[in-house]
Amino acid sequence: MRPAPRRPPETMRIWTIQPVEVLARLEAEQVLYAEPAYIWPEFRDAYDWLAGQMQRRIPGYGGRYPWWGWYQPRPDLRRSGHLPRGTAGVRLELELDPSQVLLSDFEAWHIVLNHGYLALTEAEDDAWDARFQAAVPDRRAWPPPEPWYSEILRSWERIFDPSIELRAGLEALEKSEYWQTQTRYVQATYEMLRLADVRRRTFFVAR
């Protein structure tokens, strides 16, 4: 009896927007890693935290800063804001191993970038802010003293949700009065950009 044919591993479709120079480098080098020099200094803490989360959640993650892409929706090249106006760019469609990708909510990620507490309701936000202001004289100092720092970091993990792996939705955020949106923008981070994962290239000039 002949063995049943082996099914190919399931893949995850991700789109990433890059300048055409990145594609040229990728074609020459086959594999690219993100360059830390491009991270704005004021966002380095957030990127360090995300890299730590990827190390916890992705088997074999090597500790580098991530590449960024979109899980949903597919980037609309007719819209502006993908790259500086007039830049020659390319939208790469990738097929990645889901175990090597960390999905998160794009809108909620901005709370992480701004060192905020990620609340799910107005009542939670107001209560936490009142306690924080009463206990921490300089609320702009980063990192804040404990236990506030740990509370903030725990709240950031709400940008992830196990349900996102099943249906590209973040259940806790979707049920929240703060985070209900018409379109759920789900970003994808992964450690390496490989030419072998590219399935389609769409060139454009940024508007």
Residue-range domain boundaries for the chain: 12-205
CA-to-CA dists, residue 17 to 110, 117, 177, angstroms: 19, 29, 31
Confidence of residue 177 (pLDDT cuts 50, 70, 90): low
Tens digits of residue pLDDT in 117-139: 999 888 999 999 999 999 998 88
